[in-house]
Amino acid sequence: MTLRHKIGQMLHCGFHGYEPGEDIARLIRERHIGGVILFARNVRDVRQVAAMNAEFQRIALEAGVPPLTIAIDQEGGMVARLTDGVALMPGNMAIAAGGEPQAAYEAARVTGEELRALGINLNYAPVLDVNVNPGNPVIGVRSYGESPELVGEYGVRAIRGLQEAGVTATAKHFPGHGDTDVDSHLDLPTIAHGRERIYGIELAPFVRAIEEGIDAIMSSHIYFPSFETEKRPVTLSRNVLTGLLREELGFDGVIMTDCMEMKAIADHYGTVAAAVLAVEAGADCVLISHRHDLQEEAIEALVAAVESGRLSEARIDESVERLLAMKRKRGVTADAVTTAADEAYYAGEAFRSVGSREHRETARRISEASVTLVKADAGTLPLRRERTLVIGVQAVAVSEVDESVDLPVTLGQAIAAHGVEVEERTVALDQVGANAEELIRLAVQGGFRQVVIGTYNASFRPDQSALVRAILDAGVTPVVVALRNPYDIKAFPDVSAYLATYESRPLALQSAAKVLTGVIGAKGRTPVTIHPDYPVGWGGTFQ
C-alpha cells in the first residue's frame, strides 16, 4: 500500500444521500478511505440501506481498496439511525432498569444480526459512560446507570452480543463522559476529578471492556487535567490515548476519535489540524461525519505530516495494521462482502430476519420489563376507563447525536388502545410555555376524571415543570410519565403517580400504557438516583 492508501484507511467519512454520490465514491476510489458512516439522512428503508451498502463494497472492490468498514450509531432507544423496518431495541438505561444483564446481550445480539444483514459491520456502541451527573445534557439515558459495576456488567454483555454477531463493537466515550454538564458537540467539557476517582468510576467499565476483548474504543472530546497538563481534550492527548489507554491499560485494538467536526474540536483546534494531532496522540481512525471538504483536507494534512517528518510512516503502519486486523477479525473480507443485495439476497434468511417477529418480541419483552413505577398514591392507578386528558410534550432531538424523533404512536393513543376514553393534547417542546394557560384551563375545567402528563426532559425545561406545578396547585393530581429523563420528578415530587420509561419510542409508549392501565405489572427499577427519596434500585407496584 502506498502512503496515500494507508492514510485513507484511517478515515471514516459521512456523506449525504441515499446512495453513494460522487463525493463519497471519489473518496473511496481516489483517497482509499477505510470506512463510511451512516446517519438517519442516509436511511430511507432497510432494502435501500442493504442495496446502498452493497454498492459501496462494489465500488471498493473495483477500485482495489480493502472492503469498507460501514459504521453506524445504533445504540438503541433515543439514539438510533435505523428506526423503521428493524427491531429497534430499548436504550441502555431502559435495559438496565429491567434488572437483567442478559437482556443487554440479547438486545446487542439482535441488533448486530440485523446490522450485519444490512451490510453494516461496525456499531459505535455501547456507551460505557457512568451517568453520575443528573445534569448531563448529552449522555443521560444513553448510559446504563450511575454505578460503574453495573455499567461494566451490562456493557460487556452488549460487547459480546455485537461481536458474536460479526459486528465490531466500539466502547465510548473514553475515559468517560458521564460527569459533564456540557455537550462536547457544542463546547469543550472539563472533568476535574483526581486520578483515584477517575480510576474508580469513569475508567472501570472500560477496563472491563478491554478484558472482554473489545474491538474498538472511541475517545471523548473532554479535557481531563489529571492526565493532561496542556488544555487538550482526550482525542488530542498522547498522555491519555497512548500513555493511559495503550500502555497502562494494555488496549491493543483500534482507537477511534469521536467526530472531529464537533465544536469541542472544531472551534478550539480546527477539524483538519486536529486530525493530525489525534494521530500524533495515538488515534488509529479519524471520524469526519459531514463536510466533504474537511475530509479531503484532513487526508492531505496527514500526508503532509508524514512527508514533512512530523509523523513517521511507521506510526501510520501501526494504525493501518490494527484497522485491517479488525476487519479480518469480524469477517469484513473481499469474499464476504461481494454478495450483491439483489432479489435473491432479499429473499434470503439473513435479510428476512431484519425486523422479524422473533426479534421484535425480544424488544417488547425488554421494554415491558423496563417501565418503572416510582410512586402511585392509593387509587391513582391503574387508570380507570373514564374520560381522561393526556397532555404530551412532543419528543424532539435534544442533542446533536439524537438527530430526529418520529412518533407514529402517541402516549394518548397507546392508552386509548386499552379502553380508556382519551382526549389528547400534544405540544411542541418549545411551545409548552405558550400553550400552558390553555392546557391548565383544560386540565382544571375540562371535566376530566383523570389527567396524564407525559414530560420530556422536564428537569432541563422549566416551562414543563411550571406546567405540572400549576396543574397541581389548581387541585388536580396528574399522573406523570417521564418519557426520557427519569430525573423529572425532582421538580414536582408531590405528583400523585410517576412512571419512568427512559425513552419515547413507540414501543416504550406502548409498554407504559400497559402498565398505566394494569395490563401488565411494573417491573423496572431505577438504575440511577432520581431524587433523595428514590435511590438506585427503586421501583414499586400498585394494587
Catalytic residues: 185, 258
DSSP label at residue 347: T
Query: For residue 540, which phi and psi values (nearest 5 degrees)?
Result: -140, -170
Centroid of chain to Cα 11 = 21
Q: How far apart are CA 243 and CA 239, in angstroms?
A: 5
Centroid of chain to Cα 17 = 22
Task: Report the 10 Å Cβ neighbour count for 335.
Answer: 8
Q: How far apart are CA 126 and CA 261, in angstroms?
A: 21
| Packing angle of the helix pair 101-117, 148-164 (nearest 10 deg) | 30
Torsion sign (Cα): 58, 61, 64, 70? positive
Q: How far apart are CA 351 and CA 356, in angstroms?
A: 9
Strand partners, 14: 37
* Selection from 331, 355, 92, 75 nearest residue 215 by Cα: 331
Please, what is the end-to-end C-alpha distance for the chain in angstroms?
A: 69
Nine-digit cell string for 272: 483538519
Centroid of chain to Cα 391 = 27
Residue 375: partners with Cβ closer than 8 Å, 6 or more residues away: 489, 495, 496, 497, 498, 534, 540
Q: How far apart are CA 55 and CA 49, in angstroms?
A: 10
Q: Which helix (H) or strand (E) holds 409?
A: none
